Each structure stands twice: as C-alpha cells, then as structure tokens.
Amino acid sequence: MQETTDSGPSGSKSRPKRALSFLRVQNAYAFIGLVLIVIFAWVFFVIEIEPQFYLQEGERARYAWDTFISQFIIGLAQGSIYALIALGYTLVYGILFMINFAHGEVFMAGAYIGFFAINAAEQSGFLESQTALAILLTMGVAVMGSVIVAILLERIAYRPLRGAPRLVPLITAIGASITLQQLFLRLFGSSPRTYPRISLFVGQGMWGCEPVDGTTVCEGIDLISKSYDVLIFNQEVRIRPFFFVILFVSLLLMSALWFFIQRTKTGKAMRAVAEDKDTASLMGINVDRTIVITFMLGAALAGAGAVLFALYNRQVTPFMGFIPGIKAFTAAVLGGIGNVPGAMFGGLFLGVAESVFPSALGLPNQLKDVVAFGLLIVFMIFRPTGIFGEVLSEKKA
C-alpha cells in the first residue's frame, strides 16, 4: 500500500533538482508564515504606499482597509464551505486514492433536496414560527439526500471498479456527474430555485437597538439575511452576521469529524483501511462498510455545506455544484489531498485568496476563478504534496 517505489524520470521523487526548489519548504508552518507575510506586505503596499503615487486630492483609493477586511470575512465564509466540500474529496482520496469527481453533484443534490424541505416549511408556516428548528430540519433533510446520492454513486459507479486502473473510475465519475446534473435539470427545470428570505433574530434586548418613533426598540440581530455596519480595527465594515454563522457551523462540523475519526471505533477502522485495506480486512474490519461510511461522512458534510451555501446565495441550479466542486478539490490539493486538517486549512486559504487577490492585484472581480485554478495548477506543479505534505501521486496504488 504505502510502498514508495521510484517511478522513472517523470515521477516527482526521483528527480533530484526541480525548478523553484525554494518553494518546497519542508516545514508547513514556515510555508504558511511565508505566504501570509508576502500577502500582508502586498496588501499593505497596495493600500498604504501605492495610492500616494497616483491619488489626486480628495480622491478615494481604489482599495482600502475596509474593503480588505470585508473581503477577508466573506472569503472566510466562502472558504469554510469549500472546506466542508473538500473534506469529502480528501476522505475518499485518503481511503481509495481516487478522486470522486461527482462530489460537486452530491453537494448540488443536497442543496436541491434542502430546497424542497425549506419550501415545504415555508408553505406550512413552520418556517415562520420555528425558524431555527426549520433550518436545522432542512439541513438534516439535505444531509440525508446527499448521503443517499453518495451511497448510490459508490455502489453503482465506483465499487465495481475497485482495483481497475486509476483513470477508469475518473471516467465513470464524469459520467455520473453529467447524469446527475442533467437528471436534476430535467426533473426540476433549468430556472433556478430560490430559497426563501429568512430572518432569524437573536439577542433581543441586548443588541441591534434602533430608535423607532422616539423609543428604542431592540429586536435583536438578524443572523441570516441582514447586513450591519460594524467597526473592526477602526474601520467601518458592512458585514452579514451569517458569515460568522457559516464559519462557526463549519468549524463545529469539522471538529465533529475530527473527533469521529480520532476517537470512535469506526474512525479507527477508517484509518486502518486507509493504511492498508488487506491487512485491515484480516483484522476483521469490514472494508466495504468502512468505505461506504467514508462516502457518507463526506456527503453529509457536503449536504450541510450546501444548505449554508444556499442560505447565503439563495439560488439553486443543477450546475451549481460544478465550480464549487472543483474549487473544493483545489482546496484539498492546497492542503495536501488525503489530509483532513489540510483540507480544512486549504478551504479557508482558497476562500480568502480568491476573495482578496483579484482586487488587491487590481484585476476585475470576475477573475477570481482564474486565481483559484491558477493556485491549483501552481500547487500541482511545484508543491504536489500541498501545504501539509501528503503525497499526491502514483506512489500509493
């Protein structure tokens, strides 16, 4: 399983010298520190120093600290959704060494099924009366939907091909991915479904006080839909509290996953199967069952992420899973695919990078996909092990 045979001139290990070898910092934290220093230096340059050369009297700089801070927070929220999806890629890769290309469609399926749940809740008035509970239920339904899709995928498209050359499951995954996309397109139409606009007020009487008709009314903070002006580092920034909800829920789910993998018996079985399938099976571990559970875990996180994503973006289409899916894969590669904390970190890093970089570099915002996939290619070529250093190559077969 873990044999490290050198793989000819095109392999990545046997090549003694590579270009840009300084990028191959062995210590992950040194690498992260280096990257952060470079980014902050660049942002500082763009905000504080560069405007002095072109700015006329009374003109506003094209980029300022408040933009940076709000983009950073949006990036964290977006990134935590990438991280949730990326964990699905990384878990499956860690065990089967295959890339579940249809994982983006699992995410999409979760968002759709969640839509029907939340729509039913809205029709019946349940969403109005018990908002928090309705959202939780929606998340539960979406998770169930994603899990069912993932189980079917594993059974139909991947299990018969275990042991086949590694490109073959990729092709079936692409086939499954088109099938799911088009099936949802035909079943539910090409016009996007829209999640209802939800308000969930918390902290009545403590925050969010507004003067209404001379008296002060404290209706609380709307956690989901509204944006508020907040002072952060002396900068007035307009943010949605929902960004922090996304970050918090994602971190909660990720730590639950971490606990599951590290502390439960099933988690131990998963680690054993990842290490060596045959030996694990000799030790009495049901390998098939463990693999299914891995797919289910990844799908559950994707389903929860899908509801968060849909509550934030509100629009759900059959093609919504494709780009986030590949971006989450990028996140998994950045962190080192097969590495669970790596996927979490990679997701947050990618989210912040694609949110902050385009405007910091003075590019149009539409080019954020270019930033994300540029990072993917640069990392694949120059640091295929990712930041945390799991080997992404043919070494494990």
Partner 1 sequence: MNNAHIDVRTVLFWGISAVILLILPQLFPLGYLVNAMITTVVWIIFALAFDLSAGHVGAVSLGHAVFFGVGAYVAAIAAPQLGLGYFGSMGLSAVTMGILALIAGIAFFRIAEVSFAIGTLGALIIAQQIANNAYDLTNGPMCIQSVPNPTIHLPGNAISVTQPVEYYYALLPLLLLTLIVYRLLTTQRIGRAFASVREDEVRASAMGVHPLRYKLLAFSVGGALIGALGSFQAQYITVVCPSELAIDYTLTMLIIVFVGGAGRMRGVVIGAILFNTLPRILENIGGGTIPPAYQQVIYGLILLGVVLYMPDGIDGLITRLTGGRKSKRQVVTDA
What does the binding site for partner 1 look like in residue numbers (CB under 8 A)? 5-12, 98-99, 101, 156-157, 160-161, 166-168, 170-172, 174-183, 185-186, 322-323, 326, 329-330, 333, 364, 366-367, 369-370, 373-374, 376-377, 380-381, 384, 392-394
CB of 177 to partner 1, least distance (A): 8
* Cβ distance to partner 1 smaller for residue 158 or 312: 158
CB of 384 to partner 1, least distance (A): 6
* Cβ distance to partner 1 smaller for residue 187 or 231: 187
* Cβ distance to partner 1 smaller for residue 95 or 98: 98
Backbone angles phi, psi at 213, to 5 degrees: 50, 45
Say if residues 306 and 114 touch (Cβ distance below 8 Å): yes
CB of 389 to partner 1, least distance (A): 15
Those residues whose C-beta lies under 8 Å from the C-beta of residue 162, and which sit 6 or more positions away, are 96
Backbone angles phi, psi at 201, to 5 degrees: -90, 135
Cβ neighbours around 29 below 10 Å, total: 10
CB of 92 to partner 1, least distance (A): 12
CB of 364 to partner 1, least distance (A): 6
CA distance 290 to 269: 7
CA distance 92 to 88: 6
* Cβ distance to partner 1 smaller for residue 196 or 374: 374
Q: Identify which of 80, 124, 19 has the alpha carbon closest to the alpha carbon of residue 381.
A: 19
CB of 284 to partner 1, least distance (A): 30
* Cβ distance to partner 1 smaller for residue 43 or 161: 161
CB of 377 to partner 1, least distance (A): 6
Say if residues 342 and 335 touch (Cβ distance below 8 Å): yes
What percent of the chain is helix, strand and coil (3-state, nearest 5)? 65, 5, 30
Cβ neighbours around 275 below 10 Å, total: 13
CA distance 53 to 10: 48
* Cβ distance to partner 1 smaller for residue 33 or 160: 160
For the chain, the C-alpha Rg in angstroms (whole number) is 23
CA distance 31 to 16: 21
* Cβ distance to partner 1 smaller for residue 171 or 206: 171
